Amino acid sequence: MDRKLFHWIIWIFLLSGLLLAVGLFSLCIGSSSIPIKEIISLPLTDRHTTEYSIIFDIRLPRIVLAFAVGGALSIAGVIFQGIFRNPLVEPYTLGVSGGAALGVCLSIVFKLNRIFGFNLFPLVGFLGALLAIFLVYLISSRQGTLKITNLLLTGVMMSFICSSLIMLIMAISRLEDLHGIIFWIMGSLEECDWMLIKIALLVAILGIFISLFFAQDLNAFSLGEEEALHLGINVERTKKLLFVFASLLTGASVSVSGIIGFVGLVVPHFVRMFVGQDHGILLIASGLCGGMFLILCDTLARTVMAPLELPVGVITGIVGGTLFVYFLSKRQLILGTKGA
Amino acid sequence: MLEVKGLTCGYDRRFLLQDINFKVRKGEFLGIIGPNGSGKTTLLRAITKVLRPEKGEIILDGKDINHYGFKELARKIAVVSQKVDSFALNLTVKEYVLLGRIPFRKRFQFLETRRDKEIAHKALAITGILSLAQRPIAEMSGGEKQCAIIARALAQEPQVLLLDEPTTHLDIGHQIKILDLIRKLNKERQLTVIIILHDLNLASEYCERLLLLRGGKIYRMGSPEEVLTYPIIEEVYGTLVVVKKSPVSSRPLVCLVPEGIQNASKG
C-alpha cells in the first residue's frame, strides 16, 4: 500500500479512537459519575431516569459542542497559519473575535435579549464577526489584491480597537451587565439549545470538507505566494476565499461559545509536529485533535473544582500551553526518530 | 516558442519595462543580463503572470499567456527561484520536489500517483540528490538546496525553464555544476532556458544568446560575442573593463579593472 496513505489511515484511526475514548470518559465523569457500562446500555433503557437526562441533556450536548468548536477553530488556525505563513497567527488575531465580543457587549448593555425575548447572543456575535471581517477585508485590499502584511496589521488593529471599545463599555456599564460580559468573553460550552449545537456541528463538518478542497493550494502556499503562483495556484482568489472562509468558521464558533482561546493556535502546531506538513492530513488531524482537546479541557473545567465551574479558556491556556512547550523542547527527539 | 511583443510593465504605475520585444526559439539557451534595477526580474515576473503587463502581450506556443489557466501555464513554464522559503525547510527533499506535481493534481486528490513518484524520482536522479531524498531541506548545503529547487521545477515537466540568478550564493564549483546541469537539460530534453545571470563570464560561457537590459529597455540582443564588447559593457555598467577571448572556449572573457590599476595605467 502507498506509504502516505498508510500513514494517514493510521493517524485517522488513532485520533478517532482517542476521540471516542475522551468522549466516553467525559460522559462518565462529573458531579455524579456514571459507570461506562450503564452509559452503553442507556439508550435502550427508560428515558425518564436521572442518568438518562444527565447524559443526554447535559453532558452529550456539551461534548458535541466542544468537538464542533474545537474542530472548527483548529481548522481555521491551520488555514490562517497556512496563508499567512506565520506561526503566531491564530483565528482570533484578525479581529473576528473582537467584533463578535463587541456585538455581544452591546446587546448586553442595551438589554436586547429582554426586548426580543430570546437569546440573541449567537446572532449578534456572528453579525459583529461578519462586520469585523468585512471591514478588515475592505481596508486591506487595494486594487483587487489582498496584501498579506496589510491584512495582518489591519486585523490586529481591528482587534485592539474592539477590545478597547469593550473595555470602555465595561467601564461605564452596571455590575450585573459586567458579569454577563465577562462570562461571555471567557467563553463557555454550556449551551442548551440543540439547534445551535447542530448548526455548530454542521459548520465544523462543512469546514473540514471545504478546507480539504484547498489542501493542495495550502501546500503550495508554504513555498511563498509567488512560488505558489508558479505552481499554478490562482493566488489572489485563493487567498481571499480562504481568508473569508476561515474567518466565517471562527465567527460561527465564537458566536456560539464565546472566546475560547488557544485552541486554534496550539492545536495546529502540535499536530504539525506529529503528522507533518501536508495539509490533507494536517487539516483532518487538526479537526479531530482540536475537538478532542476541547472536550478534554471542558471536562477538566467542570470537574477540577466541582461544583465550581472554571472557564474553559483558562484550562485550554494552561493545559495547551504547558503541553506545547513540553513537546517543543522534545521536538528534536521526535524529528530525530522520524527521520531515522 | 515564446514571443514578447511591445511589453510595458511595472509596479504601481511606475513602468520599469518599456516596449520590450524579443523571441525565444524552442530549445534555446537565452541569458538575461543587465545592471541592478534594469528590469531583469520584472521581465521574468511578467512572463510568469506574477505581474500584469500594462501594454503588449506575451505569446507562448502561439497563445497569449493571459488565455492560459494558472495550472495550464505551470505545466509549461517552471521557475527556479534563488532560495527555499523558510516555511518549507521542514519538508524532506522528496516532499519538496513532489510539490512540483501540484499543477497536475485534481481537487481532493491527496495522494501522489505512481507517475508523480516516477517523475520526482527522475528529477532527483538527474540533479544528483537522489541519496538525500529523505533528508529535511534545512540540513542541506546551499548547492544541494539549489539542486532541490531545480528538481522541483523539473517535476513540473516544463517546456520552458526560467531561472533567476541560480548561482548567486554558490562557490565556483557549484556554479559550474548547476550550469552544466542546466545545459545538459537544455540539450537532452530540448528544454528552453531563460536565465538571469549577474556573472558576465558565466553568461558568456553558457548562453547562446544574450539579452542586455538597461533602464527597462533592451540595449542589445545577440550572441555573447556581439553583446559582450568593452564599449557596450562600459556604457551600460559604467565601469572600465577589458574584454579578451577565453583561452578555454574562445568566448568573450570580461576582466574587471579596479581603481588602483586604472590610475597606474594612466600614470
Taking the Cβ of residue B90 and every Cβ of chain A, the question of whether any pair is shorter than 8 Å is answered with yes
Phi, psi of A309 (to 5 degrees): -105, 125
C-alpha A124 chain-centroid distance: 19
Chain A residues near residue B70 by CB distance under 8 angstroms:
229, 232-234
pLDDT surpassing 90 at residue B72: yes
DSSP 8-state class, residue A54:
I
Q: Report residue B241 as a C-alpha cell.
A: 573593463
A210 → chain B, closest CA residue:
B108
Tell me the pairing of strands A145-146 and B77-80: unpaired
- What is the helix (H) or strand (E) element at residue B2, kind and residue range? strand B2-11
The interaxial angle of helices B172-189 and B114-126, nearest 10 deg, is: 130
Report chain B's mean pLDDT, rounded to a whole number: 91
Chain A residues near residue B107 by CB distance under 8 angstroms:
213, 216
C-alpha to C-alpha distances, B16 to B22, B34, B54, B109, B213, nearest whole angstrom = 17, 13, 11, 40, 11
**Is there a contact between A222 and B88 if contact means CB atoms under 8 Å apart?**
yes
DSSP 8-state class, residue B80:
E
B96 → chain A, closest CA residue:
A223
Chain B residues near residue A230 by CB distance under 8 angstroms:
48, 74, 77-79, 81
C-alpha B152 chain-centroid distance: 14
Of A277, A272, A271, A270, the closest CA to residue A220 belongs to A277
Region A180-198: what's the mean pLDDT? 85
pLDDT at B227: 94
Q: Report residue B257 as a C-alpha cell.
A: 579593472
Taking the Cβ of residue B114 and every Cβ of chain A, the question of whether any pair is shorter than 8 Å is answered with no
**Is there a contact between B74 and A230 if contact means CB atoms under 8 Å apart?**
yes
Q: How confident is the model at residue B266 (pLDDT cuts 50, 70, 90)?
A: low
- Give the domain ranges of chain A: 3-339
Q: Which amino acid is at A241?
A: L
**Angstroms from A326 CA to nearest CA on chain B:** 20
Least confident range of A253-257, A282-286, A331-335: A331-335
Chain A residues near residue B77 by CB distance under 8 angstroms:
230
Taking the Cβ of residue B82 and every Cβ of chain A, the question of whether any pair is shorter than 8 Å is answered with no
A4 → chain B, closest CA residue:
B111
Tell me the pairing of strands B63-64 and B217-222: unpaired
Report pLDDT digits (tens) over A195-212: 999 999 999 999 999 999
Q: Which residues 47-76 of B have a C-beta within 8 angstroms of A?
A: 48-50, 69-75
Which ranges in chain B belong to alpha helices (H)?
A: 40-47, 70-74, 93-98, 114-126, 142-155, 172-189, 200-206, 224-227, 230-237, 259-266
Residue-range domains of chain B with CATH: 1-76+160-223 (3.40.50.300), 87-157 (no CATH)
Spatial distance between the Cα atoms of A259 and A90, rounded to a whole number of angstroms? 12
**Is there a contact between B70 and A229 if contact means CB atoms under 8 Å apart?**
yes
Region A126-137: what's the mean pLDDT? 94
**Contact of A70 with A46, CB cutoff 8 Å:** no
Spatial distance between the Cα atoms of B194 and B20, rounded to a whole number of angstroms? 15
**Is there a contact between A234 and B70 if contact means CB atoms under 8 Å apart?**
yes
Q: What percent of chain B has pLDDT over 90?
A: 72
Bridge partners of A142, per DSSP, are A145
CATH architecture of the domain formed by A3-339: Orthogonal Bundle (1.10)
Task: Name every residue whose Cβ is closer than 8 Å to that of residue A311 and which is 6 or more positions away in sequence.
Answer: A183, A186, A187, A188, A301
pLDDT surpassing 70 at residue A322: yes
Of B183, B178, B116, B172, the closest CA to residue B150 belongs to B178
**Contact of B70 with A233, CB cutoff 8 Å:** yes
Q: How confident is the model at residue B265 (pLDDT cuts 50, 70, 90)?
A: low
**Angstroms from B70 CA to nearest CA on chain A:** 4
**Contact of B44 with B194, CB cutoff 8 Å:** yes
Taking the Cβ of residue A89 and every Cβ of chain B, the question of whether any pair is shorter than 8 Å is answered with no
C-alpha to C-alpha distances, B128 to A192, B90, B149, B151, nearest whole angstrom = 62, 21, 12, 9
Spatial distance between the Cα atoms of B2 and B69, rounded to a whole number of angstroms? 17
C-alpha A161 chain-centroid distance: 22
User: Number of A:B CB contacts under 8 A?
Assistant: 79
Report pLDDT digits (tens) over A139-172: 988 777 888 888 999 999 999 999 999 999 999 8
Q: Report residue A26 as a C-alpha cell.
A: 467525559
Task: Name every residue whose Cβ is closer than 8 Å to that of residue A120 and which is 6 or more positions away in sequence.
Answer: A107, A112, A113
Q: How confident is the model at residue A334 (pLDDT cuts 50, 70, 90)?
A: very low
DSSP 8-state class, residue A58:
I
